[in-house]
Structure 1
């Protein structure tokens, strides 16, 4: 299993950003200052990288070396662009099926979703740069290595990706309880993208206003909702059922 690479030191992190490494998150010591830090901060903003300001004790645990107040996690996978997704779609003989995650933050849920997506032949997964679960060792383990087989795209905003897919006539289906329509009534034989929301709030209201379809799973028990990875599996396998 490939572990998440961890680098430390201001200059090392700057060089990693400049070389295009897929940086998941940067931990910065609270109160850090200086010209080199300002340069790093500028690179982080330009690249829209997740930042967490932490006490020095946290950094000492993350790195045994001279971290200079900065530690970064580099993803074990390389991300693809939306344009690359479209190239994959054009080169494929199968009808595209994308999965979009609107704020899924639990690493194990994320890993389980990736594993199911791979089994269902999902074309690619789209996540948001900020507010999404990282791809780390736990993600790799929970996905059973599927994370290396499914193309993943990081975007600044899920809504922008949604509009992009719609320009290619890909229908967007939101998994939400805020509808009377069931998932079984959706036509998944057409090019489609399924949006799953976060564990607590579901798909955001601004996203729901822009999707093509809303659908839910029938709930026959007393519990009002399913775990997001389980619900995602039910949606994906309905698409597989229709396409098989």
Structure 2
């Protein structure tokens, strides 16, 4: 399955773009040039792609074969539009619950979060187009298939999704240690969108400035932090507890 999510070669990637495949990320060799590369750049300019310019050694590790300086990963899922997601969830009788992931890096953490999200009744997950973990075979495997059951959408920036949630009557709560408010003091009985941050940096400061509320988990040990997928599980199941 890992191999089927990757395509390589300039002509193959151009064709994937032309046929509107769901391209998750494009790796391009630094210094690449030539006629086909220029054609690729023209096609890429029509929309925003998650692009990394990397040494040839990185491409050699990604695939076996003549990659011609480019490898693209094709997402095994179709992403939904944010407006469509919020609209469809608002029509349900249940109280909306969304999850926003601010530049999560690790594909296995991503998969674990998706699995917990499905089990806890999350209506949809929002990720950023650039800077976040791609949807790979490892993501699918770690999610135990939940990735095919929870709608996922991509936005240009997480802030775009936050503003849209707020304008739709959904409270946005950030999971961060940069607050004195505990998770257990928050009201999750209303429509809520939870924001989880990057494994190392947490939630970006620009995002923290615009959320409605912040909450943290009480920490009793000396390490002072949890794996993001574990913390996400704790937050989501507090929502479940309050809504039972």
> Please, which moves more after superposition, 190-199 or 37-46?
37-46
Give 1:214-233 correspondences, 5 Å limit.
Answer: 214-233=214-233
Give unmatched runs, 5+ long, in structure 1.
Answer: none
- Please state whether the residue corresponding to 2:126 is helix, strand or coil: strand
- C-alpha distance in structure 2 between counterparts of 1:174 and 1:59, whole Å: 36
Aligned to 1:237: 237
- C-alpha distance in structure 1 between counterparts of 2:3 and 2:206, whole Å: 36
Q: In the alignment, does 2:196 pair up with 1:203?
A: no
CA apart distance, 1:50:
1.8
Contact 2:98 2:194 in 1 (8 A): yes
CA apart distance, 1:61:
4.3
Give unmatched runs, 5+ long, in structure 2.
Answer: none
How many pairs were matched up? 244
Give 1:129-140 correspondences, 5 Å limit.
Answer: 129-140=129-140
Q: In the alignment, does 2:56 pair up with 1:50?
A: no
- C-alpha distance in structure 2 between counterparts of 1:208 and 1:26, whole Å: 29
Aligned to 1:15: 15
Q: 1:223 to 1:56 in 2, by over 3 A?
A: closer
- C-alpha distance in structure 2 between counterparts of 1:173 and 1:62, whole Å: 37
Q: CA RMSD in A?
A: 1.7
Q: Structure 1 length as normaliser, TM-score?
A: 0.93
- Please state whether the residue corresponding to 2:195 is helix, strand or coil: strand
CA apart distance, 1:47:
2.3
Q: 1:185 to 1:45 in 2, by over 3 A?
A: farther
- Please state whether the residue corresponding to 2:220 is helix, strand or coil: coil
CA apart distance, 1:140:
0.9
Q: In the alignment, does 2:163 pair up with 1:179?
A: no
Deviations 1:115-162 (A, max 9, x none): 100000100000111111111111111111111111011111000111
